[in-house]
Amino acid sequence: MARGEVRGDARRAGRTRVAVFALLAALATVAVASASNPLRAISADPYTNASTQHKTQVEPDTFAWGSTIVATFQSGRSFDGGSSNVVASVSRDGGTWWAKKWLPFTTYEGGAYPRASDPAVIYDARHDVWMVVALAVEEPPRGAAVFVSRSTDGARTWQDPVTIAVSPGTFFDKSWITCDNWPQSPHYGNCYAEWDDNGLGNLLTMSTSSDGGLTWSSPVMPAGEPSGLGGVPLAQPNGNVIVPYTANYSSVSAFRSTDGGATWTSPVLVASQIRHTPAGGVRALPLPSAEVDAAGKVYVAWEDCRFRSGCPSNDIVISTSTDGVAWSAVQRVPIDATTSTVDHFMPGIAVDPARSGNSARIGIGYYFYPVANCTSSTCQLDFGFIGSSDGGATWSAPVQLAGPVTLSWLANTSQGRMATDFTSTSFTADGTAHPAFAIAHAPTGGVYDEFAATAGIDVAALTSAGTVKAGGDIVRVRKKGRTPVGRPFLDDTPAWFPRAD
């Protein structure tokens, strides 16, 4: 769910051109050919209740540990907030085979609440526990609690949810979670949940668990009681935890804890958010995406139009920090020229946790319109990917993974047509990036066909074919007919999920 969702908040907020074209055309082929796994669907909505929109799946989040990847998402989206339930898809072989799981969050799977929203997934290495956090949503829709379902058998089965916090009659929103998986950390094994209370002016709140999610501390607000949403907690190897978030779409800020979550500092400014609102009435909240490398450097990405004269469309931009206090100047990811017609938004960044510094490997999945100046009937939504193998000093050419999608194919909400409020990318141990995203085909017989998809991308191979200096301009080449999500990926049969164990 998002702030104002139920109340209808209006505040939605030196190469030649020939050489570059040749490089991009070659990379388009390399990216797909070198992928560890082909583009594929990993789930489809299993529910049929009349109160939500089927078949729709939105808002994916992922986490990878070793060769295991868990992706989680809303399934059966409601117009005014939440969904029929949270569903997870699990791969234990680096993304080749996937098994779909129904989590016990809502009444459709034996839970206590009619809807669930805003899932996020994490692995706790110290306690060998997978966790999915989500919002419990009441009728009429209200974020009533934050709860977490645990798995102690490698994400094969999921336990009844543990309540982290219950809303005092207000409106919880945008839950998130991380765990300290650094053995050298003094707080190794701590897990940190985050959410905001929209009913109290989007006050940001944290809770900590040190026993694998079985019990959680009383909610703690950062000093100064900051207001915002979309906070992404990140544990550093030294045990500090940094939480970037959007200060209600006006800026990206961050607060931190240096004592294992007992206290949290006042926020500092990362950067202002200067944003072009994507056209066509699509729901595209400017939430930050963030990850941390092996040395503890934090990378935060978001959509921003500051590098484009007149702000006609967004780039994906990044800022970094090693301590959560001092942040780098905003840097543009060079997906295409600042004079292009393309609008980029809703990025999902991943940083390989085994690498750092000049060898840090980064992957960013993102949605885009090829032409920013479009309407609800003419906008074409695509999903792309770009990578770096040197900590963001240079970047590969972009790759289009899916699309185009017509906006009317997407679930409808009180804040516009919805693919997601955030997207996600994770690295497996072999260095392969796995972006996960919602994509759609045209509805059939009045039933939507929106589902979760992913791909495995070898970022090293992608960048070795050629790179562009950060902040530089390149010209996008869209190879006609290349890599749309095709009908074979929609097969939601036992054969598609052969390891439904």
Q: What is the pLDDT of residue 241?
A: 98
Q: Is residue 191 predicted with pLDDT exceeding 90?
A: yes
CA pair distance 308, 72, nearest whole angstrom: 35
CA pair distance 300, 233, nearest whole angstrom: 11
Q: Are 367 and 383 in contact (CB under 8 A)?
A: yes
pLDDT per position as a tens digit, 266-308 = 999 999 999 999 999 999 999 999 999 999 999 999 999 999 9
Q: Is residue 455 predicted with pLDDT exceeding 80?
A: yes
Q: Decide which of 217 and 29 is more confident.
A: 217
Name every residue whose Cβ is closer than 8 Å to that of residue 350 and which is 6 or more positions away in sequence: 291, 362, 363, 364, 424, 425, 426, 427, 433, 434, 435
**How far is C-alpha 282 from the chain's CA centre?**
17
CA pair distance 464, 462, nearest whole angstrom: 6
Residue 138 identity (one-letter amino acid): E
The arithmetic mean of pLDDT across residues 321-333, rounded, is: 98
Of the ranges 6-15, 37-46, 221-230, 485-494, the best mean pLDDT one: 221-230
Q: Is residue 22 predicted with pLDDT exceeding 80?
A: no
Q: Are 314 and 276 in contact (CB under 8 A)?
A: yes
DSSP state of 282: B
CA pair distance 259, 255, nearest whole angstrom: 13
pLDDT per position as a tens digit, 76-128 = 999 999 999 999 999 999 999 999 999 999 999 999 999 999 999 999 999 99
The arithmetic mean of pLDDT across residues 15-30, rounded, is: 30
- Return phi, psi of residue 490, to 5°: -95, 0
Q: Are 423 and 366 in contact (CB under 8 A)?
A: yes
How confident is the prediction for the chain on average, in pLDDT?
Answer: 88
The arithmetic mean of pLDDT across residues 464-488, rounded, is: 44
Task: Show the CA angle centred on residue 75, arms to residues 35 and 140, nearest 5°.
Answer: 150
Q: How confident is the model at residue 27 (pLDDT cuts 50, 70, 90)?
A: very low
Q: What is the pLDDT of residue 39?
A: 83
Q: How confident is the model at residue 414 (pLDDT cuts 50, 70, 90)?
A: very high
DSSP state of 92: S
The arithmetic mean of pLDDT across residues 162-189, rounded, is: 97
Q: Are 462 and 31 in contact (CB under 8 A)?
A: yes
Residues of the chain above pLDDT 90, percent: 84
Q: What is the pLDDT of residue 1?
A: 65
pLDDT per position as a tens digit, 358-396 = 999 999 999 999 999 999 999 999 999 999 999 999 999
Radius of gyration, alpha carbons of the chain: 21
Q: Is residue 459 predicted with pLDDT exceeding 60?
A: yes
Q: What is the pLDDT of residue 464?
A: 86
Q: Is residue 489 predicted with pLDDT exceeding 80?
A: no
Task: Show the CA angle centred on residue 52, arms to residues 48 and 53, nearest 5°.
Answer: 85
**Residue 109, Cβ density class (10 Å: 0-12 exposed, 13-18 middle, ≥19 buried):** middle
Q: How confident is the model at residue 37 (pLDDT cuts 50, 70, 90)?
A: low
Q: Is residue 235 predicted with pLDDT exceeding 70?
A: yes
According to CATH, the topology of domain 17-490 is Neuraminidase (2.120.10)
Give pTM, 2 decimals: 0.89
The arithmetic mean of pLDDT across residues 238-256, rounded, is: 97
pLDDT per position as a tens digit, 441-453 = 999 999 999 999 9
